[in-house]
Amino acid sequence: MTRLPVRERPAGPPAASVRPSSSGIGRSSSEAAEAVSDALRRGAGPYLDRRRRTAALALAAISAFVPVAAYQSGVLRHLPDPPLPGLDSDAVDASGEAYNGWKTPDAALGIASYAVTLALAGMGSADRATSRPWIPLALAAKVGVDVASALYLSAEQVTKHKKLCTYCTVASAFTVAMLPQVLPEARAAWRSWRR
């Protein structure tokens, strides 16, 4: 296994240095799992940087949907919007369309979807574009579907409600920003897959 360059400011210690000394209860570790831990937290490289950005954008999209999910579930009574024309999160997120998929709040489905994106961004070793090219290809396909869904839902809000949900619009912006992050590794994975 080749040694990765380490980031200038790595996150946490090397995984092998914190390996438990006893077997105990619970999950076990492996060198492969420790390599993923070290790559994501400590490794340097353009694909790793892009994977971290994708993870950050997925987490940001999830955080944008949390208040909407709370409102749609009745936990919050109101979603405040900036004082700009065309914004009305309460009306958009209370509509029947927002509950039509699986008859559940669509923000909850969005959170689950972005959790899958987050998992795909973190999955695999630093060389996954060549060792497991299906992972970057799956991530790019997932983000492509997310972008298409985000644009469709934004168009739905504008054309049906003549209003936008602030939080959904922010989540859509984060989603669109993911696309340029995942494409370079997906192209490398596609070249590797074709070989």
- Does residue 1 surpass a pLDDT of 60? no
**Which whole number is the average pLDDT over 25-29?**
86
pLDDT in tens, 148-183: 999 999 999 999 999 999 999 999 999 999 999 999
CA 182 – CA 50 distance, rounded (Å): 7
- For 146, counting Cβ atoms within 10 Å of its Cβ (0-12 exposed, 13-18 middle, 19+ buried), the class is buried
**Which whole number is the average pLDDT over 47-75?**
98
pLDDT in tens, 104-131: 999 999 999 999 999 999 999 999 999 9
Homologous superfamily of 45-194: VKOR domain (1.20.1440.130)
Residue 29: the pLDDT is: 86
**Which has the closest alpha carbon to 166: 62, 90, 107?**
90
Mean pLDDT taken over the chain: 95
With bands split at pLDDT 50, 70 and 90, how would you rate the model's confidence at 57?
Answer: very high
The pTM of the full predicted model, rounded to 2 decimals, is: 0.94
CA 129 – CA 192 distance, rounded (Å): 7
With bands split at pLDDT 50, 70 and 90, how would you rate the model's confidence at 132?
Answer: very high
Contact 11/52 with Cβ under 8 angstroms?
A: no
